Amino acid sequence: MLRLPAVAGRFYSDNPRELLAEVREYAKPQPNQEPRRVQACLVPHAGYRYSGHVAGSVFSRIVLPKRIVILGVRHRPPGEPIAIISQGAWRTPLGDAFIDEALASALKNECSILREDPVAHSAEHSLEVQLPFLQVLTPGFTFVPIALGTARFDDLVAIGEALARALAANPGLLLLTTSDLNHYEDDATTRRKDRKAIDQILALNPRGLYDVCRNEAISMCGLGPTVAMLTALRGLPAARPELVCYATSADASGDTSHVVGYAGFIFS
């Protein structure tokens, strides 16, 4: 299966030369910051104009391996609520990124609720926008795409526990999770709500994050993937969380009345 780009020209440039320059600028190395190996990271997935610098600040801080699981959102139906693709490649303006078939098979064996479904991935942007960063920063990588459209806590825990087993069995594997934070409220409200979610992420508390987003009406679109990631990390040797960067769309647009929050984390 070849999955063609769905949001090139909208979320990021469809011109290869411009896209390459854009990624390099967002993810340029930071002075006095030596990249290090991590178990997982959490990055946003909006258009690069709004959140590319947040994602880039994370990617510039880590040593990106050659095998990556990308855990993202299924924003809209149709498709399975817990969807994986196990074969083929995804195309971007920078070329084709190939799926790690062996790793995908192992994940399906570990987690029986994963369902093979290209439909759920066909128009989904949350995973796609990560690929140009990886193509530039770790050429030749392979990946497994998983899109979650479920908010059932027990299912998210099951996925996280399966991911923990996969990470334990594959040293050096990176769990790249993606979420934006609160949506479409004013900047002050969004920052206040986002802080509550950020505190639970830094505490590695999947149940706390799930509950605070539900109880405080925090419209974090990647709540499911983040809960699964935090569950996975709790099943591994101690993970040290770090908030690398936080922003809202107002930082790029100047409009503080109707914003989305973005945060980037690494988990060593």
Instruction: Render 180-227 in DSSP notation, one character per residue.
Output: --SEEE-HHHHHHHHHHHHHHHHTT-HHHHHHHHHHTT---TTHHHHH
Could you report the per-residue pLDDT of 239-264, keeping only the tens digit for each? 899 999 999 999 999 999 999 999 99
Amino acid 152: pLDDT: 93
Residue whose entry in the numeric block shows the structure tokens 């399966």 = 162
Contact between 214 and 142 under an 8 Å Cβ cutoff? The reply is: no
Per DSSP, 130 falls in state T
Amino acid 74: pLDDT: 92
Amino acid 33: pLDDT: 83
Does an H or E element contain 178, and which? strand 174-178
Contact between 97 and 1 under an 8 Å Cβ cutoff? The reply is: no
The Cα 45–Cα 12 span in angstroms is: 11
Contact between 19 and 12 under an 8 Å Cβ cutoff? The reply is: yes
The Cα 245–Cα 209 span in angstroms is: 19
Packed helices 16-26 and 48-59: angle between N→C axes, nearest 10 degrees: 60
Which residue stretches of 9-130 are H helix? Answer: 16-26, 48-59, 101-110, 125-128
Amino acid 239: pLDDT: 82
Q: Which residues of the chain have pLDDT under 70?
A: none
Instruction: Render 213-268 in DSSP notation, one character per residue.
Output: HHHTT---TTHHHHHHHHHHHHTSS---EEEEEEEETHHHH---SSEEEEEEEEE-
Letter string b/e over residues 83-102, b meaning 16 or more CB atoms within 10 A of that residue's CB: bbbbeeebbbbbeebebbee
Contact between 179 and 221 under an 8 Å Cβ cutoff? The reply is: yes
Contact between 248 and 179 under an 8 Å Cβ cutoff? The reply is: no
Please choose, from the candidates 129, 139, 136, 127, the residue with its C-alpha nearest in 3D space to the C-alpha of residue 69.
Answer: 127
How many other C-beta atoms are found inside a 10 Å radius of the C-beta of residue 143? 26
Residues whose CB falls within 8 Å of the CB of residue 47, separated by 6 or more in sequence, listed in order: 10, 11, 12, 129
Amino acid 77: pLDDT: 75
What's the pTM? Answer: 0.96
Contact between 151 and 73 under an 8 Å Cβ cutoff? The reply is: no
CA Rg value for the chain = 17
